[in-house]
Chain A
Amino acid sequence: MNFKNFKINFKNKRDLIPQVITVVFILLVIAYFTMNAQNNMGNRGISFGYGFLSQESSFDIQFSLIDYDGSHSYARAFLVGLLNTILVSVIGIFFATILGVTIGISRLSQNYLISKTAEWYVEIFRNIPLILQIFFWYFAALRALPLPENSINFYDISYLNVKGWYVPKFIWTNFNIFLYSIIAAFVVIFSLNRYAKKRRDESGKQIPTLLISLAILFILPFLTFLIGGVSLTFGIPELEQLSTTVFVYKNGVSIIPELISLALALSMYTATFIAENVRAGILGVSKGQKEAAASIGLTKGQILKLVVMPQALRIIIPPTTNQYLNLTKNSSLAAAIAYPDIVLVFAGTALMQTGRAIEIISITMFTYLSLSLSISVFMNWYNKKMAIKEK
């Protein structure tokens, strides 16, 4: 490839000049910035280096999925922030997808009320900036919740108050065996589906894969309870009085209001875009497909599953993956409401305590960049795969 370009360039000297100028210009700009930065840092006595990452961080983080306190390093603080970002993104993606698909399909419903309601939902939540929605949920709605001693009570096992949503804690023994059983169940289901597809392609006979898959998904993990030594108890949140007016809940798991408002706002906002994508996808399958499928005797459910959805998915998936990426990037707004994600913890607190602006921001941007690039690569691969199938 290189040689070919080289040859062509040689032939076309006119093409060489603008390229050289562009490259030189870019190099000059980079050199200018670097020189200024070095000069400025030298003047101020600031050093440059990533060694600070192994230093003790000295600050605690409110919510962390892994073990962390101030005696751990900045690198571990970064990891905590990253995991929190991934957590809120996964929760957001999950709910946004469910909500978005529901609303997208509702918009196509024959029922006037339902389609209008869905339409207004999309119009309202799409046109209000996400940051305002986050502010509303966090500062207005969740702050209005009652104090712990007057919590909203859900059947005495879960409590909602201004400090968070307290749910029972899952206390496992031998959790890894349970995990393996779930992984094994997925492997079996996957192979089963492949086998069923092959059999259907060859002989036209169908196996009720959905029922069998569900059965496997329930039975295998259940077996681990009976014979695998796995057991599960629940830690129910209990009200504890620390002082005359201070109450906390112990024994349960608290889902902090920062996480709730962020996940809520992200889901509701992104769901509008996913709904539009789903609607475009289903509308994009030409009517002739449905008619042809009906004319060969497929039932409505079969038409949906075998003819409409595969084609609709091809239209739906690329923009929806884009929306997932947007959701992950939008989760950086957590910095505005004290949810300890990567921007607040690393590009916020750590930056302020160490002053290493360039290093920290470069790491943060690199993290987001690798995330989006990997999703872009996946999308390109998916597009190519789908394109070949289309022929």
Chain B
Amino acid sequence: MMKSIKNWILIIFASSLLIACGQQGGGSGGKKSKTLDNTKKAGFVKCGVSQGLPGFSNADASGNWTGIDVDVCRAVAAAVLGDADKVKYTPLSAKERFTALTSGEIDVLARNTTWTLSRDADIGLTFVGVNFYDGQGFMVRKNSGINSVNDFKNGISACTNTGTTTELNMRDFFNSKNIKYEPIAFEKADEVVQAYDAGRCDTYTTDKSGLAAQRTKMSNPDEHKVLPETISKEPLGPVVRQGDSVWEDIVRWSLNTMIEAEEYGVNSSNASSLKESDNPAIKRLVGAEGELGAAFGLDNEWSLRIIEQVGNYGESYKKHIADTGILPNRGPNELWTKGGILYVPPAR
């Protein structure tokens, strides 16, 4: 009879749920990394990037992604899978970026994300480093007659992305100057740019690197200028989920490898030839000495692959940010030996 069949189906389904419940709950211990295993199984690194920010992560017409954030993902892919191109890029808005990471849709978030306390401690994420030191600034039209943030007056309207640190910093800034302002916050960066371009808001505020990059997307880039003041610290870096410390370390040290390689003068063209180098630090970087890869469950050529296939930090910056005209001056994003603040722990 149909009724008893229905009952049986329900009973079987219910018991299978019970069994599934019971099997679940084994945490990760030792050198086990669920993310690493899943990545190896899938054959590509799941990387979250922006929806199109020139210099950091931008797709061209054929769908190829380039930028310094993209290079972080490629470094991880080179280290873990041996091929820097084995990455799946997921463009994310500011709204979805963290939930995409916590839900497992992506494993690395390289999306010019500011490292803050609340993000690090409160929402289940871990920042693994800084790949761009930046600050928040304002953009206005050149003919607006505003030459510094001190020229802002009551009633000004400011556009920004919602759900970002810029929204909060903007408030702190205007409050400190006792200026009544109109905050207009959109979800997509493109909409913010459009609103500013159309005149809906008088100024556009985000990280200065973002301002420089988005200016190229406006109808008349030469009409706009970035005001000289920087109103906040914005250390931008890659993020991973909390709870998988091995994966965390892999991403952190992939980024550090790129920076340290520049420090020692190792780049994509000379990396393999430097296996005979006299400097033990260089030899460790190219995998000719030491068993550093085993610490993550990787082979020893992991850092060599990063440098060869992606390049060191300087090469990456030059190709995507300096040569494209976005920010030719490296500013704080220079090695500590050359006056900047890029100083990473040694790989040993």
B152 proximity list for chain A (CB < 8 A): 242
Closest to A18 in B: B7
Cβ A21 vs Cβ B7 within 8 A = yes
Tell me which residues from 86 to 139 in chain B have a Cβ below 8 Å from any Cβ of chain A. 94-95, 98-99, 102, 118-119, 121-125
Give the complex CA separation of A304 and B186 in angstroms: 49
Contact partners of A372 in chain B: CB under 8 A: none
A49 nearest CB across to chain B (Å)? 12
Query: Is B51 in contact with chain A by the CB < 8 A criterion?
Result: no
- Across the two chains, which residue of chain A brings its CB closest to B181? A60
* Bound complex: CA A263 to CA B187 (Å): 20
- The 8 Å CB contact of A245, one of B14, B20, B141, B186, is B141
Question: What residues of B have a CB within 8 angstroms of the CB of A3 in the complex?
Answer: none
Residues on A with C-beta less than 8 A from B272 are: none
The reply on B344 being an interface residue by CB < 8 A is: no
- Contact indicator per residue, chain B 223-249, by CB within 8 Å of chain A (1) or not (0): 000000000000000000111000000
- Chain B residues with CB under 8 Å of A248's CB are 155-157
Indicate whether A326 reaches chain B with its CB closer than 8 angstroms: no
Q: Does B3 contact A (CB under 8 A)?
A: yes
* Size of interface on B: residues with Cβ below 8 Å to A: 62
Q: Is the CB of B17 within 8 A of A44?
A: no
CB pair A354–B123 under 8 Å, yes or no, is yes
Question: Using Cβ atoms and an 8 Å threshold, which residues of chain B touch A44?
Answer: 102, 124-125, 241-243
CB <8 Å contact, B183 and A62 = yes
Contacts of A163 in B (CB 8 A): 157, 199-200
Complex contact A46–B14 (CB within 8 A): no
| Partner among B17, B153, B181 whose Cβ is within 8 Å of the Cβ of A29 | B17
Are the C-beta atoms of A62 and B182 separated by less than 8 Å? Answer: yes
- 9-residue interface stretch from B69-77, B161-169, B317-325: B161-169
B residues less than 8 Å from A29 (CB atoms): 17
Q: How far is the CA of A222 from the CA of B106 in the complex (A)?
A: 65
**A283: Cβ under 8 A from any B Cβ:** no
Given A36-B24, A58-B171, A352-B162: A46 in contact with B13 (beta carbons within 8 A) = no
Q: Mark A338-362, 1 if CB is under 8 A from B, else 0.
A: 1000001000110111110100000
A 136-160 binary contact with B (CB < 8 Å = 1; else 0): 0001000100010000000000000
Beta-carbon contact of B146 and A162 below 8 Å: no
Cβ-defined contact, B168 with A70, below 8 A: yes
Q: Which residues from chain A contact B124 at a C-beta distance below 8 Å?
A: 41, 43-46, 355
Q: Which A-chain residue is minimally distant from B201 (CB atoms)?
A: A163
Query: Contact at B155–A242, with CB atoms within 8 Å?
Result: yes
- What residues of B have a CB within 8 angstroms of the CB of A348 in the complex? 95, 162-163, 187
Across the interface, name the chain A residue whose C-beta is closest to B243. A43
Query: A66: shortest Cβ distance to chain B, in Å?
Result: 16
The CA-CA distance from A349 to B162 in the complex, in Å, is: 6
A59 to B166, CA, bound (A): 10
Assuming the A-B contacts A32-B21, A39-B24, A243-B153, are A46 and B123 also in contact, with contact meaning beta carbons closer than 8 angstroms in the complex?
yes
In the assembled complex, the Cα of A391 lies from the Cα of B20 at a distance in Å of 57
Residue A61, interface by CB 8 Å: yes
Please classify how large the interface on chain A is, using the bins under 10, 10 to 19, 20 to 34, 35 or more: 35 or more
By the criterion CB–CB under 8 Å, are A246 and B156 in contact?
Answer: yes
Q: How far is the CA of A252 from the CA of B3 in the complex (A)?
A: 69
Write the A56-85 contact mask toward B (1 if CB under 8 angstroms, else 0). Answer: 001111100000011000000000000000
Question: A14-B3, A250-B155, A348-B162 given as contacts; is B186 within 8 A of A338 (CB)?
Answer: yes
Q: Report if B207 contacts A (CB, 8 A).
A: no
**Cα A24 to Cα B14 with chains together (Å):** 8
Which residue from B3, B20, B198 sits with its C-beta under 8 Å from A32? Answer: B20
- Please name all residues of chain B whose beta carbon is closer than 8 Å to the beta carbon of A62 when the two chains form the complex: 182-185
* Docked complex Cα distance between A388 and B10 (Å): 43
Residues of chain A from 34 to 54 with CB closer than 8 A to chain B in the complex:
35-36, 39-41, 43-46
Q: Is there an interface contact between B198 and A162, defined as CB atoms closer than 8 Å?
A: yes
B144 sits at the interface (CB 8 A): yes
Within 8 A of A (CB), among B1-30: 3, 6-7, 10-11, 13-14, 17-18, 20-21, 24-25, 27
Q: Determine if B278 is an interface residue (Cβ-Cβ < 8 Å).
A: no
Q: How far is the CA of A58 from the CA of B184 in the complex (A)?
A: 15
Closest Cβ of chain A to B115, distance in Å, is 15
Question: Beyond A59-B168, A349-B163, A352-B94, is A244–B145 a contact (Cβ under 8 Å)?
Answer: yes
A92: Cβ under 8 A from any B Cβ: no
A180 within 8 Å of B by Cβ? Answer: no
Residues in A with CB closer than 8 Å to B14 are 21, 24-25, 28
Residues of chain A within 8 A (CB-CB) of B241 are 44
**Cα–Cα, bound, A29→B10 (Å):** 12
Q: Are B123 and A60 in contact (CB under 8 A)?
A: no
Are A245 and B155 closer than 8 Å at their CB atoms? no
Cβ A257 vs Cβ B200 within 8 A? yes
Known: A163-B157, A244-B144, A338-B184. A353 touches B199 (CB 8 A): no
Contacts of B7 in A (CB 8 A): 17-18, 21
B202 at the binding interface (Cβ < 8 Å): yes
7 A-B pairs with the lowest CB-CB distances in the bound complex, closest first: A44-B124, A244-B145, A352-B163, A355-B123, A248-B155, A243-B145, A43-B243
| 18 chain-A/chain-B pairs, Cβ below 8 angstroms | A18-B6, A31-B21, A36-B24, A44-B241, A45-B242, A45-B243, A58-B171, A59-B171, A69-B175, A143-B198, A147-B199, A163-B200, A245-B144, A246-B146, A257-B200, A352-B95, A352-B163, A355-B123
B interface, CB within 8 angstroms of A: 3, 6-7, 10-11, 13-14, 17-18, 20-21, 24-25, 27, 94-95, 98-99, 102, 118-119, 121-125, 141, 143-146, 151-157, 162-164, 167-168, 171-172, 175, 181-187, 191, 194, 198-200, 202, 241-243
Give A contacts to B, CB under 8 Å: 14, 17-18, 21-22, 24-25, 28-29, 31-32, 35-36, 39-41, 43-46, 58-62, 69-70, 139, 143, 147, 162-163, 240, 242-246, 248, 250, 257, 335, 338, 344, 348-349, 351-355, 357
Question: 8 new A-B pairs (CB below 8 Å) besides A39-B24, A43-B243, A354-B122?
Answer: A25-B13, A35-B24, A44-B241, A44-B242, A62-B185, A242-B202, A243-B146, A349-B167
